[in-house]
Amino acid sequence: MTYMPLDDRYSRMKYAYCGNSGLQLPKLSLGLWHNFGGVDAFENAKSMLLHAFDNGITHFDLANNYGPPAGSAEITFGQVLHKEFAHHRDELIISTKAGYWMWNGPYGDGGSKKYLVSSLDQSLQRLKLDYVDIYYHHRFDPHTPLEETASALELLYKQGKALYIGISNYSTEQTNAMLRLLQQKHVPCLIHQCKYSMFHRDPETSGLLQILSENGVGSIAFSPLAQGLLTDRYSMGIPKDSRAAKSHGFLQSGDVNDAVLQKVAALQSIALQRNQSLAEMAIAWIWEKGVTSVLIGASSVNQLQTNLKALASPSFSSDEMNRIEQVLHS
């Protein structure tokens, strides 16, 4: 049966201009870091992608090594793109990245021109595309001159293999330096992707968000729920099947201590008074800080739909923002 997207999909989403560009991004973007790899159920991945588009999510965020195995998330997305989304390519913003390990040997990691050019060529083959909308350098590489990385991004931009250029996981100082180089090359930096949430405020406290605003660069936040801490998942301790219960991963049991749980409980109380979940409030709080789009992940259509409810969040009063600040600084 041929997929037909919902006619009202664009009225279901809110959009914002990305920096000083003419490109609008959905307030919620879908990340394919987990649950879209070759080890995952294809039908579930496809269902999530279709549900996202049906609800106005037009931006799909990939990287060369997303999977597992590395590269398989791009293959999965490419399969859905060329079947279900075959007539909708011009309605999609497809982004990918390179910077972390992708293949063995000296040329499969970092920020060299060799790696960045080769990696994008491989990504385009997996996606079966001539270009991506956004190509990011995924992380600052201390072993490669920034000029070389900027030169690689310039080449790919001017070749038309990437319509826009972005950077990710760059510090404020590194961002400033890269923006200067790209400006000299007449290559606009569209967007910066950074880790940002109520529990991780470095982009705010370091001045990164201010630098981006001053330079007309958009922003997109990943890990907005702090690996699940900003949900009701840990309100009763650490569930056996949770991320914090696993011996590997970014969230460890030591991160879920009494002080954190007290903050979660206080934030939940504020969210309930706003008639929403903590997750919904946590996402809306990031928008309140001026971030262009919030990057969400999902393991099921139901989880994706839960995150979409954040779009109905009421505006924050100054009192609510002050109370949240008091909790976060307690």
Q: Quick one: pLDDT at residue 256?
A: 78
Q: Which two tokens stand for residue 21?
A: 């560009």
User: pLDDT for 94-110, tens place per residue?
Assistant: 999 999 999 999 999 99
Task: State residue 248's pLDDT score.
Answer: 42
Question: In this predicted model, what pLDDT tens digit does every residue of 36-76 receive, in sequence order?
Answer: 999 999 999 999 999 999 999 999 999 999 999 999 999 99
Copy the structure tokens of residue 8: 């009202």
Q: What pLDDT digit, counting tens, does each position of 117-134 carry?
A: 999 999 999 999 999 999
| pLDDT tens readout for residues 233-280 | 766 565 555 454 444 445 545 567 889 999 999 999 999 999 999 999
DSSP string, 228-297: GTTSSTTTTS--TTSGGGSSSSS--GGGS-HHHHHHHHHHHHHHHHTTS-HHHHHHHHHHHTT-SEEEE-
The residue that leads in pLDDT, 14 or 239, is: 14
Pairwise CA distance, residues 155 & 109, whole Å:
18
Whether pLDDT at 84 is above 70: yes
Q: What is the DSSP string of 79-146?
A: HHHHHTTTT-GGG-EEEEEE-S--SSSTTSSSS-HHHHHHHHHHHHHHHT-S-EEEEEE-S--TTS-H
Element (H, E) at 189: strand 189-195
The tens digit of pLDDT for each residue in 209-223 reads 999 999 999 999 999
Q: What is the pTM of this model?
A: 0.94
Is 109 buried (19+), middle (13-18) or exposed (0-12) by CB count in 10 A? buried
Domains by residue range for the chain, with CATH:
15-233+286-315 (3.20.20.100)
